[in-house]
Amino acid sequence: MPGFNEIDRVRMPEGGTVNSGSPDGATRRKRTFSDRIPKSLLIVAALLVAYGLLVVWSAVQGNETYSFSRQALGVLMGCIVMLMFYQLDYRQLSSYTTVLLVINVVLILSPHLPVIGVESKGAQSWINVGMQLQPGEFAKITVILLDASVLARYGGNLDDPREYMKALGYIAVPFLCIMTQPDLGTGLVYLFIGAVTLVMGGSRLKFLLITLGAFVAAVAAVFAIDELMKSLTGEYKLLKQYQRNRLLVFLDPSADTSGAGYNLNQAMIAIGSGGLFGKGLLNASQSSLGFVPEAPTDFIFCVLAEQFGFVGALLLLGLYIALILSCIRIARNAGDLFGSLIVMGVVAMWLFQILENIGMDIGLMPVTGIPLPFMSYGSSFMMVNFALLGLVGSVYAHR
């Protein structure tokens, strides 16, 4: 199995020779347009989008807060964005590390601007520019490009501690910016993308273990300092009360079932009531009657599981596995390390959000506001997913 830090070599045809002066080799067949399209990836993505539209349509029936036409518009705009990213030669972005860093900072901090910034549910995460958008979602694209650009410069061998700290600094900036909103869920996505690119970029195991230990110690210190502040001032300063409640409910799901643990308990009831084959389309009583909060967005998996049961959930997981494996195959065959890291960054984002979103619905992960790729309601998030598909397609086309 070739490593991601190896550039694909031109294979010599049996009984033939290769002209090294030609990029494609004299005996290699010229790629057609069809050869430049990752057909299996697009087929899986199309099935996921269709499945997601069906579930969202059922989830928004009778709910005036959400609009299915807005979700459909997000898919349409996403297709346009995907084509734009597909036409882009990703290799031209490898040297724009500083520019990508600046774009990240501007995007993530833009909700703090007094004119366009919008506060919602205790977080300053949205902007209003004629329509409400969540810049932190779009920044996932630039975070992936930034991390890939930083790690690609080391050629798959990051063994200098000073250079490792420098790379770590680049990766930490978007996380620190998103925590000013604060949006811990999106921040964790950024960190996971950075962790995967550090591993795939050739960082030494010793550096990674030290970083992991420091991160765990920092989390413990935050809780300890917050407890100290509570004893001195009577209130928590570093973590909001709802964030602490979510962690406590994760550790003990039976605690406060009518308060902080309400979402988790209702989600598990909805999933369990679906049984093997589900209750049928539009028969998800737990979500349609409002027992499951934020059903079209954060808890869309509950709607799916209640309507289509274990079989429907298994189908979704099968599609996700096919999506991830298709991307990994593209990463292995990419023409350079930068392309491989881009695709693995996309895999990291999708994988983390799949595991976290489904995991929080069944009590295996803390409840956070992380949407489910290609399924959850939200035009901003849908466009981001399509943009990432376009990026992966660009890597495939230029392999």
Q: Supply 16's token pair.
A: 């033939």
Is the omega angle on the peptide bond into residue 182 within 30 degrees of 0, that is, cis? Answer: yes
**Burial of residue 328, with CB atoms counted within 10 A of its CB: 0-12 exposed, 13-18 middle, 19 or more buried:** middle
Q: Supply 216's token pair.
A: 């765990």
Predicted confidence at residue 30, as pLDDT, reads 61
What is the spatial distance between Cα 43 and Cα 323, in angstroms, rounded to a whole number?
9
| Number of other CB atoms surrounding residue 189 within 10 Å | 27
The answer to whether the CB of 188 falls within 8 A of the CB of 368 is yes
Coil vs helix vs strand at 117:
strand
Provide the strand spans (E) within 66-187: 117-120, 123-128, 132-133
> How far from the centroid of its chain's Cα atoms is residue 332's Cα?
20
Predicted confidence at residue 2, as pLDDT, reads 40
The answer to whether the CB of 347 falls within 8 A of the CB of 20 is no
Residue among 323, 377, 347, 382 nearest 78 (CA): 382
Q: Which residues contact 382 (CB under 8 A, 6 or more apart)?
A: 71, 74, 75, 77, 78, 374
Amino acid letter at 99? V
Predicted confidence at residue 223, as pLDDT, reads 82
Predicted confidence at residue 149, as pLDDT, reads 95
Predicted confidence at residue 76, as pLDDT, reads 95
Estimate the crossing angle of helix 135-152 against helix 97-109, to 10 degrees: 160
Partnered with residue 118 across adjacent β-strands are 126
Predicted confidence at residue 386, as pLDDT, reads 96
Residue-level pLDDT, tens digit, the chain, 399 residues: 344 444 443 333 333 433 434 444 444 456 666 678 889 999 999 999 999 999 999 999 878 788 899 999 999 999 999 999 999 999 998 888 999 999 999 999 999 998 888 887 667 888 888 778 889 999 999 999 999 999 999 998 999 999 999 999 999 999 999 998 888 889 999 999 999 999 999 999 999 999 999 999 998 888 888 888 878 887 777 777 666 767 766 666 666 555 557 778 888 888 988 899 999 888 888 877 778 878 888 899 999 999 999 999 999 999 999 999 999 999 999 989 999 999 999 999 999 999 999 998 888 888 888 899 999 998 889 999 999 999 999 999 988
Q: Supply 224's token pair.
A: 């300890």
Backbone angles phi, psi at 69, to 5 degrees: -65, -35
Whole-structure pTM value: 0.86
Sheet holding 117-120, edge to edge: 117-120, 123-128, 132-133
Predicted confidence at residue 19, as pLDDT, reads 40
The answer to whether the CB of 152 falls within 8 A of the CB of 338 is yes
Amino acid letter at 216? V
CA dist list (Å): 129 to 31, 132, 134, 137, 279: 42, 6, 11, 16, 41
Predicted confidence at residue 257, as pLDDT, reads 57
Residue among 325, 344, 321 nearest 391 (CA): 344
